[in-house]
Amino acid sequence: MSLHQFLVILRTRWKFIVTTVVIGTFATVAIVLSQAPSYSSTGRIFFSPPANSGTDVFSTYLVTQRVASYSDLATDPALMQKVIERAGLKESRGELASRISSSVVTNTQIVQITATAETPEKAQRIADAEVQELISLVTDLERPSGDGEPAIVARSTGAPTYSTVPVGPGAGLNIAVGIMLSILAGIVGAVLRDQLDTTVKRREEVEHLSGAAIMATLPLDPVVRWAEKRTVDPSSPLMEAFRVLRTNLQFADLDSDRQMVLVTSALPSEGKTLTAVNLALSLVQSGRSTLLIDADLRNPNVAKSLGLENAVGMLSTLIGRVDLAGAIQSHSSGLQVLGTGPLPPNPAEVLDTDAVRDLFDAVRGKYDSIIIDAPPVLPVADTGALVRHVDGVLLLARFGQTRRDMLRLAAERIQAIGGRLYGTVINGTPRSAMGAYGYGYGYGYGYGTDAIVPKVGGAEQGARRATTATTSNTAGGARRRQDTSR
């Protein structure tokens, strides 16, 4: 994983990271505040040879060796039981052992015993009992078998310390550590979620899976998301994205003055109707005569999105109930709309007829642009019957919803039936992820300003960035500057 990919993950999953940090911080504070303060008391035991042994080197060496051994025995279970009885405690031997620490003071023959408890008095009582019992243990173990003197003598250096200043918990330090661990957990969790996520989120993977250029990236618009209609505010960043799509679509086929474009997706609910409707409206705004056809005979939404009736439409024309002119409705924007009309029981068979071909041939010469809202590619065979009639296909993928394998299969199916894939459109991209694509929707919206323009000869040949320098040398470039200034 490159640094750029890591930063993209942080941008796109910042909500997860922030949520993890907030939860971790609250949990840390709750745990720290719920812990009772603890106090400590320290006692010391001095080990030495007997008084009448003089300064014998061997005796001194023996004491030094034994001191470390007795320090280890300070938490021996048998000794803990005696301390519990002496101090009148209710803890188990394991619990008491966790409250007592023992160490040898460096370069000395002194063992330091430290005990912690909920009160200063209890801590001192435990430390005193530990010191006395350890001295008794040394006396028992070092008692000679005969009348000789013990090799080592242990004495207390004084009463254990008493302090009313708590030694724990260190609230500030513990909270800081908890916050740092929460941040680390959030980042690690975000990276793991991204690695385990099989949905499309990056430009390079969309282009690789589909084998086609990205024509536009549509930002997530909560207003449109929850609105019943799918028309977009003309001044919104989302509508500017459709203008970019309109411009790039014109560059996809420079040799043709008229275009018939099919808009589809791998699976339902990925935004194909939203894209088809607003792309058509954008084309009307550019001065092109445009017809929008709803060819989704299973789940039609175009007429509803534009506030029109769907009782009469394409099927009405196919069965001869009304003529084509009577089935086409005019929207207030100037867009011409051909709905589905009544829904047939066999959509795939209806679309795979000469009557549909004749209908498309009839409208092709009357409009500059024809946008067809088609069913999704993978669940049904309807789209396959439509692809051969159009100039090119736009394939929708929804950010964080369309799975990589589904996008790849959809692109392969379009190409397998002889369709020309103009490019892909990524829908529902959150603003936090926009920087990952390096381009955007015009000026003044906080996004990038340059658009992705497919190379002449088809979207499958790749994409390049369109700049003012390159577009100024072509007739299409003049039209592009006019479009983006609207």
CB 74, CB 102: distance < 8 Å: yes
pLDDT digits (tens, 9 = 90+) for 42-80: 999 999 887 666 556 666 777 888 898 999 999 999 999
Q: Which of the residue ranges 51-65, 97-111, 187-201, 305-319 would you say has the lowest mean pLDDT?
A: 51-65
Lowest mean per-residue pLDDT among 59-68, 219-228, 269-278, 401-410: 219-228
Q: What CATH architecture does domain 200-484 belong to?
A: 3-Layer(aba) Sandwich (3.40)
Identify which of 398, 224, 222, 220 has the alpha carbon closest to the alpha carbon of residue 305: 224
**What value does the mean pLDDT of the chain take?**
82
Q: How far is CA 19 from the centre of its chain?
A: 12
**What is the reported pTM?**
0.59
Residues 224-247 have a mean pLDDT of 76
Q: What percent of the chain has pLDDT over 90?
A: 53
- Whether 468 has a pLDDT exceeding 50, the answer reads no
What is the pLDDT, as a whole number, of residue 480?
A: 36
**CATH topology agreement for domains 39-156 and 200-484:** no
The CATH number of 39-156 is 3.30.70.1130
The domains of the chain are located at: 3-35+170-195, 39-156, 200-484
Q: Are 90 and 126 in contact (CB under 8 A)?
A: no
